[in-house]
Amino acid sequence: MQKDNYKKSDFLKGYWEKETSFSELLKGFKDIDEDNVFNNIGLFNFSFYFLKRQSNSIDAKKFFNRNFMANNRKDWLNKFGGIKLVRDNFRVRPYGEVKNVAFDWLGLGSRKSQSPASVAKKEGGYRVEPDNVAGAINISRLTNVNFEDKSSREGLQESKTFQIFSLLITEIIAEFEKDRAYIAREMSEYDEFLYGPERDREKAVKLKNEILARSRAKKESSTNNTTENNNQNEQESESDKEKEILASELDRKEEEIEKLKEEQKVLRGLASSGIVLASFSHDLSKLNDVLASRTDKLKELMLEKISEDEYLEIKDSKNPNKQLERIRKQDIKLQNWLNFSLGATRKDKRKRKQLFLKPYFENLKSDWNTVLEDRGIFLDIAEIEELDLRVFEIDIDSIFNNILINSIDAFIISKEERERIVKIKVSSNSKEIVIDYHDNGPGLSSDITEPEKIFEPLFTTKRNKQTGEEEGTGLGMWLVKSIVEENDGKAILLYPEIGFGLKITFPIKI
DSSP H or E segment with residue 136: strand 133-139
CB distance 434 to 487 below 8 Å:
no
CATH code: domain of residue 366: 3.30.565.10
Identify how many contiguous H helices and E strands the chain contains and give both numbers: 13, 11
Buried b (16+ CB within 10 A) or exposed e, 316-331: eeebebeebeebbebb
What pLDDT is attached to residue 403? 94
The pLDDT of 446-466, averaged and rounded, is 86
What pLDDT is attached to residue 462? 85
Q: Which residues are 50's β-sheet partners?
A: 133
- Taking only the tens place, the pLDDT of each residue in 76-126 is 999 999 999 999 999 999 999 998 999 999 999 999 998 899 999 988 889
Buried b (16+ CB within 10 A) or exposed e, 168-185: bbbeebeeebeebbbbbb
Q: Which residues are 384's β-sheet partners?
A: 426
Pick from 258-262, 431-435, 473-477, 482-486: least confident: 258-262
Q: Who contacts 458 (Cβ-Cβ below 8 Å, separation ≥6)?
A: 125, 473, 474, 475, 478
The pLDDT of 144-172, averaged and rounded, is 92
Q: 91 is in which domain, residue-wise?
A: 35-197
CB distance 26 to 167 below 8 Å:
yes
The pLDDT of 231-258, averaged and rounded, is 64
The answer as to whether 305 is a domain residue is no
What pLDDT is attached to residue 384? 95
Angle at 61 between CA 59 and CA 63, to 5 degrees: 60
The answer as to whether 394 is a domain residue is yes
- Separation between Cα atoms, residue 398 and residue 278, nearest integer Å: 15
Q: Mapping DSSP to helix (H, G, I), strand (E, B) and coil, where does residue 134 land? A: strand
The answer as to whether 476 is a domain residue is yes
Q: What value does the mean pLDDT of the chain take?
A: 84
What pLDDT is attached to residue 221? 75
What pLDDT is attached to residue 306? 79
For the chain, what is the domain count?
2
225, pLDDT greater than 70: no
Percent of the chain with pLDDT over 90: 48
Residue at which a domain ends, from 153, 180, 197: 197
What pLDDT is attached to residue 289? 47
143, pLDDT greater than 60: yes
Pairing of strands 490-494, 420-428: unpaired
Cα 91 to its chain centre, rounded Å, is 37
The answer as to whether 456 is a domain residue is yes
Q: Who contacts 271 (Cβ-Cβ below 8 Å, separation ≥6)?
A: 398, 473, 475, 479
Question: Most confidently modeled of 81-85, 242-246, 395-399?
Answer: 81-85
Angle between helices 228-287 and 393-413 (to 10 degrees): 40
Q: What is the DSSP string of 198-235?
A: HHHHHHHHHHHHHHHHHHHHHHHHS-TT--HHHHHHHH
237, pLDDT greater than 70: no
Percent of the chain with pLDDT over 70: 81
What pLDDT is attached to residue 250? 63
Q: What is the DSSP string of 418-469?
A: S-EEEEEEEEE-SSEEEEEEEE-S--S-TT-SSGGGGGSTT----B-TTT--
What pLDDT is attached to residue 333? 62
Distances (CA, A) of 104 to 54, 83, 91, 135, 266: 21, 8, 16, 12, 38
Q: What is the DSSP string of 68-110?
A: --HHHHHHHHHHH-EEEEEETTEE-TTTT-TTSTTTTTT-HHH
Residue at which a domain ends, from 197, 222, 257: 197
180, pLDDT greater than 60: yes
- Separation between Cα atoms, residue 174 and residue 180, nearest integer Å: 10
444, pLDDT greater than 50: yes
The pLDDT of 195-219, averaged and rounded, is 75
Length, in residues, of the chain: 510
Pick from 40-54, 274-288, 362-376, 465-479: least confident: 274-288
Task: Please state whether 338 falls in left (phi above 0), alpha (psi between -120 and 50) or beta.
Answer: alpha
Q: Measuring CA to CA, which residue among 133, 139, 111, 117 is closest to residue 41? A: 139
The answer as to whether 163 is a domain residue is yes
CB distance 141 to 119 below 8 Å:
no
The answer as to whether 463 is a domain residue is yes
- Taking only the tens place, the pLDDT of each residue in 283-339 is 655 555 455 556 777 777 787 777 877 777 787 777 877 777 777 766 666 655 555
The answer as to whether 57 is a domain residue is yes
Question: Most confidently modeled of 63-67, 86-90, 372-376?
Answer: 86-90
135, pLDDT greater than 60: yes
The answer as to whether 251 is a domain residue is no
SS3 content of the chain, % helix, strand, coil (to 5): 55, 15, 35
> Residue type at 188?
S
The model's confidence at residue 496, banded by pLDDT at 50, 70 and 90, is very high
Residue at which a domain ends, from 197, 221, 252: 197
With helix as H, strand as E and coil as C, how does 465-508 read?
CCCCCECCCCCHHHHHHHHHHHCCCEEEEECCCCCEEEEEEEEC
Q: Measuring CA to CA, which residue among 429, 345, 434, 426 is closest to residue 393? A: 345
